[in-house]
């Protein structure tokens, strides 16, 4: 049984981010891979060692502040689980919270978990629009699409980028990188939501979650015709 955990589903769920959890669950179910979902809110307890895939979505600065305090209490256990191979997808606000800090426009620093070394500074204008990136998964290159809307500029400070920008702003509108990756933690600014739009990334995360359970398994191919068509369409507009 793969256990999926959606953290703060009521607070971190911008632009349909919950769709990431649904896509992950559905692509397991369609292949008869047993899967279940736990949702964890502020102050609720969770044993990260029992989780295989953890999802943190995006949120506004106000929500980020609330969550930062709650997350900090979980820092040691979550860091340990990450070191032990917990598979994580963190989007936008969630991504920023895994780094050192998020500095708002008025100079206030919301502390992050420092599980990774990146940091984020809010800029005056928001970075918004459709995005296309190139990502490498198991040595194979894929084009990934999504939508971004963030004030934060993230600087990786040595952390490995998740992907290379083909069109859009990405981490900071300067260095051509998008997202970050550390062990099995995947961070991105891409809403969309990213997983339903990009089944190859979803399947990569499912494979990693199975591996964490000690299961090496080739995933049954699914019919991704509609996803592929939608992606081709937006790529033809962007590139």
- Closest CB 134 distance from ligand GLN, rounded Å: 22
Residues in the chain: 239
Q: For ligand GLN, give the closer residue by CB, 93 or 168.
A: 93
Q: Which two tokens stand for residue 156?
A: 């990786």
- Closest CB 198 distance from ligand GLN, rounded Å: 18
> Distance (Å, rounded) from C-alpha 8 to C-alpha 6?
7
Decide if 92 is catalytic.
yes
Q: Is 150 in the site for ligand GLN (CB under 6 A)?
A: yes
> Distance (Å, rounded) from C-alpha 188 to C-alpha 80?
21
- Closest CB 238 distance from ligand GLN, rounded Å: 20
Cα dihedral sign, 73-75-76-82: positive
Selected binder of ligand GLN within 28, 82, 93, 163 (CB under 6 A): 93
Q: Is 184 in the site for ligand GLN (CB under 6 A)?
A: no
Is residue 200 within 8 Å of 137, Cβ to Cβ? yes
Q: Residue 26 burial (CB < 10 Å; 0-12/13-18/19+)?
A: middle
- Which of 5, 28, 92, 187 is flagged as catalytic? 92
> Distance (Å, rounded) from C-alpha 216 to C-alpha 8?
30
Site string for ligand GLN, 45-74 (x = CB under 6 A): -------------xxxx--x----------
Decide if 187 is catalytic.
no
Selected binder of ligand GLN within 14, 33, 78, 90 (CB under 6 A): 14
């Amino acid at each position: 049984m793969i256990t999926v955990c959606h953290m703060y589903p009521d607070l971190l769920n911008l632009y349909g981010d919950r769709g990431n959890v649904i896509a992950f669950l559905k692509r397991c179910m369609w292949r008869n891979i047993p899967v279940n979902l736990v949702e964890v809110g502020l102050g609720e307890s969770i044993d990260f060692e029992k989780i295989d895939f953890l999802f943190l979505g995006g949120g506004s600065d106000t929500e980020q502040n609330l969550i930062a305090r709650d997350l900090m209490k979980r820092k040691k256990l979550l860091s340990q689980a990450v070191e032990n191979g917990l598979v994580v997808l963190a989007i936008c606000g969630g991504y920023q919270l895994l780094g050192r800090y998020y500095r708002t426009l008025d100079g206030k620093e919301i502390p992050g978990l420092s599980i990774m070394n990146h940091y984020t500074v809010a800029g005056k204008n928001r970075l918004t629009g459709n995005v296309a990136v190139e990502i490498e998964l198991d040595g194979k290159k894929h084009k990934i699409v999504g939508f971004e809307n963030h004030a934060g500029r993230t600087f990786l400070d040595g952390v490995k980028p998740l992907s290379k920008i083909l069109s859009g702003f990405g981490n900071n509108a300067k260095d051509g990188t998008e997202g970050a990756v550390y062990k099995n933690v995947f961070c991105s600014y891409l809403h969309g939501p990213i997983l339903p739009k990009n089944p190859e990334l979803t399947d990569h995360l499912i494979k990693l979650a199975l591996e964490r359970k000690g299961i090496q398994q080739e995933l049954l191919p699914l019919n991704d015709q509609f996803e592929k068509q939608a992606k081709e369409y937006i790529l033809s507009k962007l590139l």
